[in-house]
Amino acid sequence: VKSDEEYRERMKEKVERNIAETQAKLDKIVGSPLNVKSSPQCQAYFYGTLGNRAFTKYNKETKKSAQTTDAKAMAKLAVGTKIREPIYEAELVLNIRKNRDNISRFLNMKLDHDNRFRCVFNPRGTKTGRLSSSKNINGVGGNLQNLPHSFRGFLIADEGKIIITIDKKQAEWVVSAFASGDENMIKIVQSGIDAHATSGSLICSLPIEYVFLEDSYTSKSRDSDEIEEARKLLDKEHPEWKRETLLEKYPGSWLPRRFSIRQLGKHSNHGWNYDMSSNRFMEEYETSFEEADLARKRYRYIAYPGIPAWHRKIQSILLGKLVDEGFEPRVLINPYGRRRVFYGELDDDTFREAYNFIPQSTVADNINDGITKTYFDEAEELRDYEFLIQCHDESVGQFPIGNLSSSPHVFSGNVKTSNMNSKSRGGSLTFLTKLLLASTGGIQSRSKTSHLQWQSRGNSPKLSGMQERNKRRQR
């Protein structure tokens, strides 16, 4: 993929300014320069000067535990507990480390002499069918699968061409809905309403109208002070939605401190379907254990009770308890026929791998199937289309601007898929798919369309090909 090196340099300068400003703020609070990469300095300040309980990490080689100020430790310190306020300095340390890492991994990435981003694919890199990539043996390029969207701005179309991005939104959550058979999840998918907002509404026991309104004020902020200020403004401008009134009107309702209700729903949709622990959720999303545990319980046992039931069924399959129903012990097969055998001890870690296998592998096979069909399609309209990127539930390519009228053919080709046998529940499996068109000037237009059918014929459900939602939206 072609790289705009001037833009990449501007991105780097912006991130470096942010690092300098954050470091100055941190040093002022600490009272002296603090090297965020120095474990001794960080331990001395957070565990010595501030007197916090030291977090430890087990070393498998020495078989001993030692104090640590790694990312997990800093994330725990950055959020408050019942007996301790959040430590702002820990949040600043995380911010500096993350930005330095982004510069090292993405903004200082070595490219080929023609300023193009390339990678090397590892054919046996994953067990789910997802692609695995890395820099080549000369240290050029990088991992295409973990390049954040916020750092893709320097990847551009060639002269006279336009980027086409096809993204299946919330695809794994959609597969989880039908694989688990949870009625609430399936209704959400079939209705087309926002799954993240709905999950947040169910978890916090607040009306979805308020969830959307609050999200318009708080956006994607994860700063507790910014969230609080945004909610104060919402209270002032919409007195009918004041928090005090809401919490009285809806018993058991609550508001997450670190992010909006919709963001809580989004994080929950990404974590609880695969049985993420409350501790892991706390560390990953920098929230308190109490909020994480409450969200987990409400998601799994009130909002979507079909999820834990699905997990129990997967455990039974792996343990060989459902042989009479035609399931092979230790084996899972996704709707595309991808088979995985789970070796080793059948413990919680193995079960969690099994929970995510069907959704992740189904989405990976689906996007790859569409790419393959488009690549081998001999239609005149697709002759000049070039694939550039595949990333889990997304494919990116480029097309001559003069042939832009042919882009719907690229879209329909990408969303087609083969009939697949599955023992999962039948029904309508909807993938909300974004079609983004962008040149060097940025995103120019956007449309959303299409869905899959997870059809049931007797006892043999099948997942059929992508269908157009309607001709008007396709155009």
Cut 0.75: pTM above it = yes
The closest alpha carbon to 271, from 256, 252, 284, belongs to 284
**pLDDT (0 to 100) of residue 284:** 84
**pLDDT (0 to 100) of residue 341:** 97
Structure tokens that stand for 345 in this block: 């001890």
Give the separation between CA 15 and CA 36, rounded to whole angstroms. 16
Structure tokens that stand for 196 in this block: 């993240």
Give the separation between CA 385 and CA 381, rounded to whole angstroms. 8
The closest alpha carbon to 86, from 286, 296, 291, belongs to 286
Query: Under DSSP, is residue 154 helix (H, G, I), strand (E, B) or coil?
Result: coil
**pLDDT (0 to 100) of residue 433:** 58
Residue stretches of the chain with pLDDT short of 70: 404, 406-475
Structure tokens that stand for 93 in this block: 């340390």
Structure tokens that stand for 299 in this block: 């998601």
Q: What is the mean pLDDT of the chain?
A: 84
- In contact, 391 and 144? CB cutoff 8 Å: yes
**pLDDT (0 to 100) of residue 110:** 95
Question: Beta strands 2-3 and 56-59: pairing type?
Answer: unpaired
Residues 6+ positions from 471 with CB-CB distance below 8 Å = none
Longest dimension (CA), the chain: 71
Give the pLDDT confidence of 396-415 residue by residue, as tens digits.
888 888 776 766 666 555 55
**pLDDT (0 to 100) of residue 148:** 82
In the block, tokens 């789970």 appear at 342
**pLDDT (0 to 100) of residue 82:** 73
The closest alpha carbon to 354, from 275, 466, 272, belongs to 275
Give the pLDDT confidence of 309-326 residue by residue, as tens digits.
999 999 999 999 999 999
| b/e per residue 360-377 (b: at least 16 CB within 10 A) | bbbbbbbbbbbbebbeeb
Structure tokens that stand for 75 in this block: 């994330």
> How many of the other CB atoms lie within 10 Å of CB of 299?
24
Give the pLDDT confidence of 97-156 residue by residue, as tens digits.
999 999 999 999 999 999 999 999 998 888 898 999 999 999 999 998 888 877 788 889
Q: What is the DSSP track for 384-442?
A: T-EEEEE-SSEEEEEEEGGGGGGHHHHHHHHH----EE-SSPPB----EEEEEEEETTE
